[in-house]
Amino acid sequence: MPAILTTPARLTHLQRLEAESIHIMREVAAQFQKPVMLYSVGKDSSVLLHLAMKAFYPSKPPFPLLHVDTTWKFREMIAFRDRMARDLGLDLMVHINQEGVRQGIGPVSHGSAVHTDVMKTQGLRQALDAHGFDAAFGGARRDEEKSRAKERIFSFRTATHRWEPKSQRPELWSLYNGRIHKGESIRVFPLSNWTELDIWQYIHQENIPVVPLYFAKPRPVVERDGTLIMVDDDRLPLRPGEVPEMAWVRFRTLGCYPLTGAVRSTAATLPEIIREMLLSTSSERQGRVIDQDAAASMEAKKQEGYF
Amino acid sequence: MLKDLDPIAAPADAAPPDVANEVQAYLARQNGKDLLRFITCGSVDDGKSTLIGRLLYDCKCLFEDQLASLEADSGRFGTTGAGQLDLALLVDGLAAEREQGITIDVAYRFFTTDRRKFIVADTPGHEQYTRNMVTGASTADAAVLLVDARKGVLTQTRRHSTIVSLLGVRHVVLAVNKMDAVGWDRETFERIAADYRVFAQRIGITEVTCIPVSALTGDNVTTPSDAMGWYGGPTLLGHLESVDASAEEKLGSFRMAVQWVNRPNQDFRGFCGTVVGGPVRTGDDVAILPGGRTSRVARIVTMDGDLETALPGQAVTLVLADEVDASRGDMIVAAAGRPEVADQFAAHVVWMDEQPLLPGRSYLLRAGTATVGAQVTELKHAINVNTQEHAAAKHLDLNDVGFCNLALDRPIPFDAYADSRETGSFILIDRLTNATAGCGMIRFPLRRASNIHRHASKLDKAARAGSLQKPCVLWFTGLSGSGKSSVADRLEQELHRLGRRTMVLDGDNVRHGLNRDLGFTDEDRVENIRRVAEVSKLMVEAGLIVLVSFISPFREERRMARSLVEEGEFLEIFMDTPLEVCEARDPKGLYKKARAGQLPHFTGIDSAYEPPEAPEITLKGAEQTADEMVAQVIGELRRREVI
């Protein structure tokens, strides 16, 4: 018989957020035939996964994990991904856009826009279509970006995966309408109401494993167009005059390594990371090269089917 | 440990050793804060987005890169003039919004002060986006309504107030903005505030706070205004920090809609859901509704360990003491404090779909985790959201509000919305498009359903039909003049010749008797078909083959007619005759009249015909002879062993 916990007089802020996310996940499990959880290996995915374990305990989450691998993820991310799936005993599916691989698409040769579109957006659409998933969880938060701030928790996608920002379904109370026709799908964002601070605070409180790249240590980097790029393997061609230097850095956000800038930092523990974040004067997505391509670029990418 | 592997030393400004404790203390403070969700309403001209931008800016919730991109955007789209930050652009996130300078959909923003955490839903002010404002208001504890000090309380302020009141938002703040533009004039503010208080009281908003502000300069937004020394009340932020957000549970009695049944193995069966209404403890007596079976809470399971008590808002898994059956759609409630259980109730409905709400049409209703068929049986009145006047209405259009009676396919448990938002609310879903077409707030149950008891007959339809035939409905649909009635007529003669028992229901005949009170508007057409469908159902019970010959232009009503009888008893026969052919035939001269504008709402001319998607039989009226069509239907009836 497990221990009996005492209940506080009032729920904390994090308990409320946790309960809301669990409620959303259970709705998806009950309303859809074939849900899947997009697992991007980052800190938000770690929280999402932890919440899924809680939502269905003592059962396992009744859906698989899907990682759309662009082949340019940090090596530590891939190792962490495989370890998490193994430790938790979950079904992990990895999809790589083979067409993109055949064409040799990469962030260095083709630029961030083409790479992201082919390897991430198209790859995601291929994987969802191939398996016939009718609902897909993502870890996006409304505090990340302007068009995300507008998106519903159950976000409807047409049969061609398009988001129609101007005609979203009204979403009232905690009544989520997951009814769709064949071929259509719903993207679900259980972390919509969490902030970056909430995420770190929850990771700290719940002792949730995250990729070591979030913690500072000396890493080989080059400074390129004002961004610190980590030299993760020999696929990153160095420009004339570029010499990798060892620097104390860490990552606030994780994507493909040539597209994700590191920050100089010595924060090697969770409290230090949280302290650094509180003192920071820039937002987390600043390190993402892909968001700065064009004004309202996230909205355009999302309409095409990006998460 | 990391440092041991490190060829270079950490920089000198490394974190001090007490950082863990420092952060721990900070996090404890953060976690102790409560959360207030509020909406802001008003049009962009009132400075609503600017106000939110101001709150974020003054609360230091903007990062440098966000400010940099704001500066760039201010130059491109800004309306505040060269060199000025247009704070509104922080909030309007969609490309179309930035271009048009209006808010289309709700944006959620987050900020924190030393006392509280906030989620702001910035909602659109334009009437055409009312449904999006309703989305934001449904989860808000407080509403900030903006008015322009130069204009005072306008129609749209009244509209927003009506919605806020309907959605049960308890605290209303009237922020009289642009005080800088009226010379910080006290009298102007007091006149607007007095105006509004009178109005608010009339529509049932009891708690109103009026604050004079300038979002542009920041006066009274987060810091008290020097220019308005005559004002002694709190700043907007100060007020929002002190509003009571905890009085959320009026109900006091435990309820939990079952979301998902957790069965990892034979030995464990738990019911997952979120607690509302009141706490639940192990050992509590509970009832499972609508069935009414009772049991006791044996365990409250979470991954962190079992709980003794679960509070409203917590997501838990309950294990009951008895082997009682419960599934998604059921509600587990305190046995001593039960909700209503009924299949009819009165409710306010806000309509959110382009297709109007038609009484008699069947929708899906979601309340808690239950999904049932539902129709509006009576539209008592529509509420003009601008003037609050009640008016008779036959239907509700997009953004209309009405007070209605609804009837469901089966009883569900619920509370009055005034007592519980969670268990007193519902949404209506269009069966064809799956759109969230409307939302409702339940007022009270209707008891009349419980006094009608179905008379159970000893004979059933198979007995009445004998071995002669399988009773069924042959539903002819198609344009006027497509040949429905003449084919139905010929078919009936043929069936009669074969010794079968039949009855024809024809549009014109029925309209002269049973339906003579109905016209040709969309709502009357729906009612027309509903009555005919019910009559044909009775005739199927009588053992007959019923030939129904009606234009029946809407898929939804044909689907409803199909749902009344059993599977296989409804054959949809589509008279697929092109409009030009029907119009050329014009046996009753109706097309001519319609073209001349003398027959409004004529199907095919100025009223839509929705062709069947999967009819059992399609007849090509322009290509086949009547005999061929009759032979085709007879063949199909034999194949289906109807005859």
In angstroms, what CA-CA distances link B540 with B461, B537, B545, B547, B635? 7, 5, 7, 11, 21
Among chain A residues, the shortest Cα distance to B139 is held by A173
Which one-letter amino acid corresponds to residue A118? V
Count of other CB atoms within 10 angstroms of residue A127: 21
Is the pLDDT reported for residue B457 higher than 80?
no
Q: Which of residues 370-429 of B touch A (CB under 8 A)?
A: 421-422, 425-427, 429
B355 close to A (CB below 8 A): no
Q: How many residues in chain B?
A: 643
Residue B492: both structure tokens together:
């009936």
Model confidence over B387-413: pLDDT tens digits? 888 999 999 999 999 999 999 999 999
Range of the domain at B378: 340-447
Is the pLDDT reported for residue B517 higher than 90?
no
Task: Place A288 in a pLDDT band, splitting at 50, 70 and 90.
Answer: low
The conformational region for residue B152 under phi > 0 = left, psi -120 to 50 = alpha, else beta, is left
Instruction: Yes or no: say if B469 and B501 are a contact pair by the CB < 8 Å rule.
Output: yes
Task: Place B66 in a pLDDT band, splitting at 50, 70 and 90.
Answer: low
Q: What average pLDDT is seen over chain B?
A: 86
Task: Place B9 in a pLDDT band, splitting at 50, 70 and 90.
Answer: very low
Is residue B15 a part of any domain in this protein? no
Give the list of residues 6+ apart from residue A266 with CB closer than 8 angstroms, or none.
A216, A248, A272, B10, B11, B13, B14, B15
Mutate one of B65, B116, B132, B399 to test the A interface: name it (highest A CB count within 10 A): B65
> Mean pLDDT over residues A33-56, rounded?
96
Mutate one of A152, A156, A175 to test the B interface: name it (highest B CB count within 10 A): A175
Q: Which of residues 255-284 of B touch A (CB under 8 A)?
A: 259-260, 262-264, 268, 270, 272-274, 279
Q: What percentage of residues in chain A have a pLDDT greater than 90?
A: 54
Phi/psi of residue B38, nearest 5 degrees: -135, 160
Residue predicted with more confidence, B6 or A197: A197
Q: Scanning the structure block, which residue is given the tokens 């007490």? A: B18
Instruction: Yes or no: say if B215 and B58 are a contact pair by the CB < 8 Å rule.
Output: no
Among residues B504, B542, B541, B510, the alpha carbon closest in space to that of B527 is found at B510
Is the pLDDT reported for residue B196 higher than 70?
yes
Tell me the shortest Cα–Cα distance from A82 to chain B, in angstroms.
23
Q: Are residues B469 and B441 in the same domain?
A: no
Is the pLDDT reported for residue B316 higher than 80?
yes
Q: Are residues B173 and B129 in the same domain?
A: yes
**Residue B429 parent element (H or E):** strand B425-429
> Mean pLDDT over residues A269-284, rounded?
79
- pLDDT given at position A269: 92
Instruction: Yes or no: say if B428 and B364 are a contact pair by the CB < 8 Å rule.
Output: yes
Chain-centroid distance, C-alpha B22 = 46
Tell me the shortest Cα–Cα distance from A9 to chain B, in angstroms.
8
Is the pLDDT reported for residue B507 higher than 80?
no
Q: Which of B425, B480, B552, B607 is catalytic?
A: B552
Q: Which of residues 203-262 of B touch A (CB under 8 A)?
A: 246, 259-260, 262
Q: Are residues A34 and A115 in the same domain?
A: yes
- Of B98, B308, B434, nearest to A4 by CB-CB distance is B308
Q: Scanning the structure block, which residue is given the tokens 């041991």? A: B4
Count of other CB atoms within 10 angstroms of residue A80: 21
Among chain B residues, the shortest Cα distance to A14 is held by B31
Among B281, B312, B334, which residue terminates a domain? B334
Is residue B3 a part of any domain in this protein? no
- pLDDT given at position B271: 97
Query: Based on the structure, what is the number of domains in chain B?
Result: 4
Q: What percentage of residues in chain B have a pLDDT greater than 70?
A: 88
- pLDDT given at position B455: 56
Show the DSSP H helices in chain A as ranges.
Answer: 13-31, 43-56, 75-88, 98-102, 107-115, 123-131, 196-206, 270-279, 297-304
Return the sign of the alpha-carbon dihedral for residues B454, B455, B459, B464: negative
Among chain B residues, the shortest Cα distance to A199 is held by B27
> Mean pLDDT over residues A175-188, rounded?
94
Q: What is the rounded CA–CA span in Å between residue A12 and residue A76? A: 34
Q: Are residues B107 and B40 in the same domain?
A: yes
Give the list of residues 6+ apart from residue A238 with CB closer than 8 angstroms, or none.
A222, A231, A244
Instruction: Yes or no: say if B208 and B200 are a contact pair by the CB < 8 Å rule.
Output: yes
What number of CA atoms fall less than 13 Å from residue A101's CA on the CB side?
A: 9
In angstroms, what CA-CA distances link B366 with A175, A233, B44, B168, B422? 7, 53, 34, 19, 12
Is residue A240 a part of any domain in this protein? yes
Q: Scanning the structure block, which residue is given the tokens 């620097």? A: A247
Q: Are residues B169 and B260 in the same domain?
A: no
Show the DSSP H helices in B211-365 as ranges.
Answer: 236-242
Q: What is the rounded CA–CA span in Å between residue B163 and residue B160? A: 5
Model confidence over B123-158: pLDDT tens digits? 877 777 888 889 999 999 999 999 999 999 988 888
First to last CA, chain B: 86
What number of CA atoms fall less than 13 Å from residue B66's CA on the CB side?
A: 22
Instruction: Yes or no: say if A155 and A186 are a contact pair by the CB < 8 Å rule.
Output: yes
Among A148, A164, A199, which residue terminates a domain? A199
Contacts of B268 in chain A (CB under 8 A): 58
Contacts of A150 in chain B (CB under 8 A): 93-94, 105-108
- pLDDT given at position A213: 94
Is the pLDDT reported for residue B67 higher than 70?
no
Which one-letter amino acid corresponds to residue B357? L
Q: What is the rounded CA–CA span in Å between residue B62 and residue B622? A: 69
Is the pLDDT reported for residue B15 higher than 70?
no
Q: What is the rounded CA–CA span in Å between residue B373 and residue B429? A: 10
| CATH number of the domain enclosing A82 | 3.40.50.620
- Of A11, A146, A179, nearest to B314 by CB-CB distance is A11
Instruction: Yes or no: say if B414 and B392 are a contact pair by the CB < 8 Å rule.
Output: no
Q: Are residues A186 and A232 in the same domain?
A: no
- pLDDT given at position A93: 95
Is residue A3 a part of any domain in this protein? no
Give the single-character DSSP code of A121.
Answer: I
In angstroms, what CA-CA distances link B170 with B153, B205, B439? 20, 7, 19
B567 close to A (CB below 8 A): no
> Mean pLDDT over residues B190-199, rounded?
94
| CATH number of the domain enclosing B409 | 2.40.30.10
Is the pLDDT reported for residue B434 higher than 80?
yes
Q: Scanning the structure block, which residue is given the tokens 């957790």? A: B262
Is the pLDDT reported for residue A50 higher than 60?
yes
Q: Are residues A130 and A148 in the same domain?
A: yes
Chain-centroid distance, C-alpha B581 = 42
Contacts of A142 in chain B (CB under 8 A): 108-110
In angstroms, what CA-CA distances link A12 with A15, A187, B28, B85, B256? 5, 28, 10, 36, 20
- pLDDT given at position B87: 65
Mutate one of A172, A253, A277 to test the B interface: name it (highest B CB count within 10 A): A172
Instruction: Yes or no: say if B79 and B73 are a contact pair by the CB < 8 Å rule.
Output: no
| CATH number of the domain enclosing B564 | 3.40.50.300
Mutate one of B317, B318, B351, B426 to test the A interface: name it (highest A CB count within 10 A): B317
Model confidence over B552-594: pLDDT tens digits? 888 888 988 898 888 889 999 999 999 999 999 888 888 988 8
Q: What is the rounded CA–CA span in Å between residue B40 and residue B362? A: 35
Report how many Cβ contacts below 8 Å link chain A to chain B: 241
> Mean pLDDT over residues B249-274, rounded?
92
Among chain B residues, the shortest Cα distance to A200 is held by B27
Q: What is the rounded CA–CA span in Å between residue B333 and residue A19? A: 19
Q: Do A10 and B138 touch (CB under 8 A)?
A: no
Q: What is the rounded CA–CA span in Å between residue B120 and residue B52? A: 8
The model's pTM is 0.80
B39 close to A (CB below 8 A): no
Q: Are residues A170 and A238 in the same domain?
A: no
- pLDDT given at position B7: 38
Among residues B280, B279, B281, B275, the alpha carbon closest in space to that of B257 is found at B275
- pLDDT given at position B84: 58
Give the list of residues 6+ apart from residue B314 with CB closer than 8 angstroms, or none.
A11, A15, A19, B274, B275, B307
Which one-letter amino acid corresponds to residue B468? L
Instruction: Yes or no: say if B564 and B608 are a contact pair by the CB < 8 Å rule.
Output: no
Among residues B98, B116, B151, B93, the alpha carbon closest in space to that of B38 is found at B116
Among A149, A167, A199, which residue terminates a domain? A199
DSSP for B257-274, written as a single string: E--EEEEEETTEEEEEEE
B607 is catalytic: no
Is the pLDDT reported for residue B14 higher than 60?
no
Q: Are residues B320 and B357 in the same domain?
A: no
Range of the domain at A247: 209-292
Look at A38-52, B212-226, B454-468 and tell me which has the smallest mean pLDDT. B454-468
Among B379, B413, B447, which residue terminates a domain? B447
Give the single-character DSSP code of B46.
Answer: G
- pLDDT given at position B254: 95
Look at A129-133, A267-271, B523-527 and tell me which has the smallest mean pLDDT. B523-527
Is the pLDDT reported for residue B62 higher than 90?
no
Tell me the shortest Cα–Cα distance from A101 to chain B, in angstroms.
33
Return the sign of the alpha-carbon dihedral for residues A172, A12, B313, B421: negative
Among chain A residues, the shortest Cα distance to B123 is held by A150
Residue B521: both structure tokens together:
């508007």
Q: How many residues in chain A?
A: 307
- CA dihedral defined by B291, B297, B298, B299, rounded to 10 degrees? 110
Residue predicted with more confidence, B525 or B16: B525
Task: Place B94 in a pLDDT band, splitting at 50, 70 and 90.
Answer: low
Look at A270-274, B92-96, B352-356 and tell me which has the smallest mean pLDDT. B92-96
First to last CA, chain A: 42
Is residue B19 a part of any domain in this protein? no
Among B268, B300, B334, which residue terminates a domain? B334
**Residue B194 parent element (H or E):** helix B186-202
- pLDDT given at position B352: 94
> Mean pLDDT over residues A268-285, rounded?
78
Among A149, A177, A199, which residue terminates a domain? A199
- pLDDT given at position A290: 47
Q: Are residues B503 and B390 in the same domain?
A: no
- pLDDT given at position A294: 46
Query: Based on the structure, what is the number of domains in chain A?
Result: 2
Q: What is the rounded CA–CA span in Å between residue A84 and residue A90? A: 8
Q: What percentage of residues in chain B have a pLDDT greater than 90?
A: 53
In angstroms, what CA-CA distances link B29 with B20, B118, B421, B553? 14, 15, 30, 63
Residue predicted with more confidence, A226 or A306: A226
Contacts of B30 in chain A (CB under 8 A): 13, 197, 201
Give the single-character DSSP code of B251.
Answer: S
Is residue A244 a part of any domain in this protein? yes
> Mean pLDDT over residues B324-343, rounded?
93
- pLDDT given at position B331: 97
- pLDDT given at position B6: 37
Q: What average pLDDT is seen over chain A?
A: 87
Q: Are residues A238 and A147 in the same domain?
A: no
Among chain A residues, the shortest Cα distance to B77 is held by A295
Instruction: Give the pairing of strands B362-367 and B293-301.
Output: unpaired
B7 close to A (CB below 8 A): yes
